[in-house]
Amino acid sequence: MSSMPHEILIGVTGGIAAYKTAAVVSRLVQNGHGVSVVITRHARQFVGPVTFEALTGRPVFCELFSHSQPLGPHIDLAQRADVCCIAPATANILGKAASGIADDLVSTLILAFTGPLLFAPAMHCHMWNKPAVQRNLATLTKDGYQIIQPEEGWLSCRHRGMGRMASPERIVAAIEETFNGPR
Ligand SMILES: Cc1cc2nc3c(=O)[nH]c(=O)nc-3n(C[C@H](O)[C@H](O)[C@H](O)COP(=O)(O)O)c2cc1C
């Protein structure tokens, strides 16, 4: 255990780096934290909910409308968590969060959650370099969100460039670092 146990919310969006988020979740659980995972429909194309359910020992949430949570899972989950991290964060979720769009569970949660919220972007270097993406990142930073900067290196599209998601170790460290700051 590397820090006091906390409640952590992980949002997974639809990028190939979603497989690395399984390592992030596993490490956080091994560090003694309670971890809940919320996943977009597109993210389910990359990693199945079963992987995260087995790693966390909890159900994984994807849909906004749930009979078992009549107030909406975004409210329940947001109230319980100490910190939220979106990893990988697609260009799409960065744009939605920068504009206040809430059209699925992950984007609605981002608006409903009031604690420290981190984004770990991951995308092709051409997407990363687009003015719209950089503008959205600047807006999110100005709005008080923390961006875990991606790295330069091998990208799944067989290019080298900027946009590779930060390593699981860096993401875990950034999440646990928020426990030392003010809420
Ligand atoms: C094979 C494949 C890999 C993708 N990888 C990424 C990625 O790394 N980053 C990204 O921003 N979008 C990526 N996309 C595009 C997103 O999946 C797409 O923009 C989607 O609408 C994102 O939805 P979400 O943010 O709701 O999960 C990829 C798409 C495919 C088909």
Cβ of 21 less than 6 Å from ligand 1: no
Q: What is the CATH number of the domain that holds 125?
A: 3.40.50.1950
Q: Write the residue with the smallest CA distance to atom 18 of ligand 1.
A: 14
Q: Is residue 55 part of a domain?
A: yes
Inter-residue long-range contacts of 100-105, CB under 8 Å, 24+ positions, other chains counted:
104/40, 104/41, 104/64, 105/38, 105/40, 105/61, 105/62, 105/63, 105/64, 105/73, 105/74
pLDDT at 48: 94
Q: Is residue 31 part of a domain?
A: yes
pLDDT interval class at 2 (50, 70, 90): low
Residues 90, 103, 183, CA angle at the centre, nearest 5°? 70
Which residue from 21, 40, 41, 42 has its CB within 8 A of the most atoms of ligand 1, so it is best to mutate? Answer: 42
Are the CB atoms for 33 and 55 separated by under 8 Å? no
Task: List residues with catalytic annotation.
Answer: 157
Cβ of 146 less than 6 Å from ligand 1: no
Are the CB atoms for 72 and 111 separated by under 8 Å? no
How many folded domains does the chain comprise? 1
Q: What is the pLDDT of residues 84-138, one digit of tens each?
A: 999 999 999 999 999 999 999 999 999 999 999 999 999 999 999 999 999 999 9
pLDDT at 159: 76
Q: Is residue 1 part of a domain?
A: no
Q: Write the residue with the smallest CA distance to atom 9 of ligand 1.
A: 123
Cβ of 87 less than 6 Å from ligand 1: no
Comparison of pLDDT for 110 and 180, the residue scoring more: 110
Q: What is the pLDDT of residues 123-133, one digit of tens each?
A: 999 999 999 99
Taking the model in full, what pTM does it have?
0.95
Cβ of 92 less than 6 Å from ligand 1: yes
Its domain, for residue 79, covers 7-180
d(CA 78, CA 141): 20
pLDDT over 70 at 153, yes or no: yes
Cβ of 136 less than 6 Å from ligand 1: no
Q: Is residue 2 part of a domain?
A: no
Q: How far apart are the first and last CA of the chain?
A: 22
pLDDT at 162: 87
pLDDT over 80 at 181, yes or no: no
pLDDT above 70 covers what percent of the chain?
97
Q: What is the pLDDT of residues 38-88, one digit of tens each?
A: 999 999 999 999 999 999 999 999 988 887 887 788 888 999 999 999 999
